[in-house]
A and B are shown apart, each in its own frame.
Chain A
Amino acid sequence: MSTATAPVRTIKARRTVMESVRRNLKTAPLTAWFGMIVILLYAICAIFAPLLAPYGESEVVGKAYQLSSAQNWLGTDQIGRDTLSRMIFGARNTIGIALITTLVSFMLGGSLGVLAALKRGFLDQGISRVVDAFLAIPVLIFALMMLAVVGKSLVNLVLILALLDATRVFRLSRAVALNSVVMDYVESARLRGEGMGWIVFREIVPNILPPLITEFGLRFCFVFLTISALSFLGVGIQPPTADWGSMVAESKSLISFGRATPLYPAAAIALLTVAVNFVVDWFLHKTSGLRDGH
């Protein structure tokens, strides 16, 4: 072997994560930039809510149903709390809970899905049939039922929604992982003697990540809408905690008086949904290798 005598060479280093991110950002389309900026602004609102909001979350600052003024830019709600402040705190609660819920559902559904695809047989059949049973019941009704059984707490809300969402994530990750497990590179890793961990996280997961991340973006929006819907029905996030869904619910009657108050939180929900989808679209386009139909 010549390794002992060969002069020590420096091999060019791996491209760092930052470099790859920068390269990708350079080619991002306008819509993706719009989406990213909106998401960033929402994130800032959520993180720095106490600093940004002019008043406290449940602080009564004046009379009920005030119009916009220099003190209360978006007016006040039914018991005289500042709408703008509640919107800013609402970002924190709504987005935070949606994010945690989606993360939990992906960890649960994703790992079970890949495992089922890899192991097949009894395990796959078992999990799949349980998931089928869950999927047979509409999400909102099932969530309402479960919340009625276990009680309306924040932790219960997150867990129930995560569990229900995990069924859909399971379906997707199992399906995409099935395409990956039959590939020769997985067989090659098995022949090399690799353990289960390596095969799952180094061989399979990187290949099924694009559809999963895309799904993450979409699921995040859905969870977020489900939470809003549940809050609107009064079983979601409980007062006095501010959240956009319940804010729409509380001020909905004002719409008949020509007031825009219920539209502010509704618009906040809509804008974030659109922004997330723009970013997801860009990501999908980048990773799927789809060409425009020229």
Chain B
Amino acid sequence: MVTDKKRVKGEGLLEIKGLKIDGFSDDIWNPIVKGIDLTLKRGEVLGLIGESGAGKSTLGLAAMGFARPGCRISAGSIVFDGIDLVKATEEQRRALWGSRIAYVAQSAAASFNPAHHIIDQTIETAVSHNIKTREAAEADARDLYKRLQLPNPDTIGDRFPHQVSGGQLQRAMTAMAMSCRPDLIIFDEPTTALDVTTQVEVLAAMRDIVEQFNTAAIYITHDLAVVAQMAHRIMVLRYGNLVEEAPTRAMLKEPTQDYTKSLWAVRKLQKPESIIKDIALRIHEVDASYSGSHKVLDNVTVQVPRGRTVAVVGESGSGKSTLARAITGLLPPSKGEIYFNGKPLPKALADRDKDTLRRIQMIYQSADTALNPRQQVRDIIGRPLEFYLGLTGADRDRRVVELLESIELDESYIDRLPNEMSGGQKQRISIARALAANPEIIICDEVTSALDQIVQEEILSLLMRLQRETNVSYLFITHDIATVRAISDEIVVMHQGKVVQQGPKSKVLSPPYPAYTELLLSSVPEMDPDWLTGLLAKRSMKAKTTA
């Protein structure tokens, strides 16, 4: 960023020394953060990155002098503008929170009270800390909405949280954090839950506003490309230790540690596309709607070739998950036909026979909810074997172990419960469950979006290997273009229930694009600190020329 020198003033704002934080589990205190030093100057944006469990959120909260329930700060000091937050009383810390240190959480939808107007929640802290009068605070909130480029800044505050979109709510939360003009804002994965197209707007708005008020910020994320746009300096964390720390540009150019390099190296996975004519599943001019007349799927035609991967991309609300429900029979289409191996598939789930059900399997986004928490791996994977193939007893168990081995886990996992495994392992179990039925098609609904990047990579290469071995077709629903690029043969772009574009990967991912595909592709953050600035400039240029 060009303004680095001007913004980052010499004055230190936050200084953390030798910080150790423990978490209580299984009746003992386990270290989560293991002695970290951190300094932050006024106006500086520091990026904290790492996989889940790296301790980045814990460290971010500790910068406020706050330890989550079940955690304690066991050593070290946190000095914020001359005040030691570890030694400070609860009273003193509470006086700082909200007014001088603010926090923006990942899920704005969960952080807003659904029963109050947005503006009342935006100004609540400023009014309760007696910083401003209600009128002044409201006027200021409207000004902030405007600066954050929210539509109708004068009236949007009178809406309830559910009446605005996720991206708008996230910006409203940033306005809330800004309402007291804090010295420090902590952003905890603020755009992780948003679509790429929305993410761009939110990132730009957040970057702008901290710049305008010269606010220091700690930006926590697992997305390198995002942090590259936001931060002046990056700290890489792993297992509660600092791996590497450097200014953004230097870090992106020449990471020194192996772990950092491995983070940089992900997404090198690339499958050569191959097209065949043998169609396993054909969705023909399908309409579907939940209740009422609004069509969630509008005249959708998609073909899935045998042994290949078709990626369905689009933002949330584009109808991609509904397409999966239509195929599986959970939401029978109101018009159109679905052909499976050339024969029409009964529309409703109840009308399909066991063998048809066996051939179409599904893997869900969140293995946490897709695996019954009370069933052991033995039963989770064993049930389809028993149900479809009639395997029982020792035969069944042996097949379960074979399946475990094919997903690169071993026999020791057989009596584990889902909560005794990591996110990646659970997703592997989901894959094994689908595979147990010997399916012809697996519908993968955002199967990697809840996972860390390195784990995503492992899961994707596992899926690709299994496809080579069993010739199964994947209908891969995702909003992540990088994933699409890695694994698909064909791509279907969906927008508002309609298919915008469909074709082989090489064709869809190269110009000329339809307008929506272009917007979607250009919104994917790149590992270049100037990407966001460049993109915004390009878009405003375009807007001018079209106007």
A interface residues, Cβ below 8 angstroms from B: 3, 6, 8-12, 14-15, 183-185, 187-188, 190-194, 202-203, 206-207, 209, 291-294
| B349 CB within 8 Å of chain A | yes
> Chain A's nearest CB lies how many Å from the CB of B487?
22
Pick the residue among B366, B372, B388 that contacts A203 (CB under 8 A).
B372
Instruction: Give the docked Cα–Cα distance between A106 and B161 (Å).
Output: 40
Given contacts A11-B414, A191-B349, A294-B72, are A185 and B371 in contact (CB under 8 A)? Answer: yes
> Chain A's nearest CB lies how many Å from the CB of B343?
18
Question: What residue in chain B is nearest A11 (Cβ atoms)?
Answer: B397
The interface size of chain B toward A, counting residues with CB under 8 Å, comes to 41
Instruction: Give the docked Cα–Cα distance between A17 and B357 (Å).
Output: 34
Please name all residues of chain A whose beta carbon is closer than 8 Å to the beta carbon of B437 when the two chains form the complex: 192
9 cross-chain CB contacts under 8 A: A3-B399, A8-B398, A11-B400, A14-B378, A185-B370, A187-B330, A188-B362, A193-B354, A291-B70
Q: Are B374 and A184 interface neighbours, CB within 8 A?
A: no
Pick the residue among B329, B364, B375, B401 that contacts A11 (CB under 8 A).
B401
Q: Are A192 and B383 interface neighbours, CB within 8 A?
A: yes
Please name all residues of chain B whose beta carbon is closer than 8 Å to the beta carbon of A192 when the two chains form the complex: 357, 383-384, 387-388, 437
| B213 CB within 8 Å of chain A | no
Please name all residues of chain B whose beta carbon is closer than 8 Å to the beta carbon of A294 when the two chains form the complex: 24, 69-70, 72
Please name all residues of chain B whose beta carbon is closer than 8 Å to the beta carbon of A190 when the two chains form the complex: 330, 349
Please name all residues of chain B whose beta carbon is closer than 8 Å to the beta carbon of A10 when the two chains form the complex: 394
Q: Are A184 and B328 interface neighbours, CB within 8 A?
A: no
Pick the residue among B397, B402, B414 that contacts A3 (CB under 8 A).
B402
Please name all residues of chain A whose beta carbon is closer than 8 Å to the beta carbon of B375 when the two chains form the complex: 202, 206
Q: Are B370 and A291 interface neighbours, CB within 8 A?
A: no
Instruction: Give the docked Cα–Cα distance between A8 and B399 (Å).
Output: 11
Instruction: Give the docked Cα–Cα distance between A15 and B420 (Å).
Output: 16
Instruction: Give the docked Cα–Cα distance between A187 and B402 (Å).
Output: 26
> Chain B's nearest CB lies how many Å from the CB of A188?
6
> Chain A's nearest CB lies how many Å from the CB of B358?
8
Interface residues of B in 3-30 (CB under 8 A from A): 24-25
Q: Are B373 and A207 interface neighbours, CB within 8 A?
A: yes
Q: Are A11 and B398 interface neighbours, CB within 8 A?
A: yes
Question: What residue in chain A is nearest B379 (Cβ atoms)?
Answer: A202
| B143 CB within 8 Å of chain A | no
Question: What residue in chain B is nearest A190 (Cβ atoms)?
Answer: B349
Please name all residues of chain A whose beta carbon is closer than 8 Å to the beta carbon of B414 when the two chains form the complex: 11-12
| B369 CB within 8 Å of chain A | yes
Pick the residue among B25, B330, B373 that contacts A191 (CB under 8 A).
B330
| B415 CB within 8 Å of chain A | yes
Given contacts A11-B411, A193-B387, 10 further A-B contacts (CB under 8 A): A3-B398, A6-B398, A183-B372, A184-B366, A188-B362, A191-B330, A192-B384, A192-B437, A193-B354, A291-B69
A-B residue pairs, 5 tightest by C-beta: A206-B374, A11-B397, A184-B370, A185-B372, A184-B369
Q: Are A194 and B387 interface neighbours, CB within 8 A?
A: yes
Instruction: Give the docked Cα–Cα distance between A291 and B376 (Å).
Output: 24
> Chain B's nearest CB lies how many Å from the CB of A150?
41
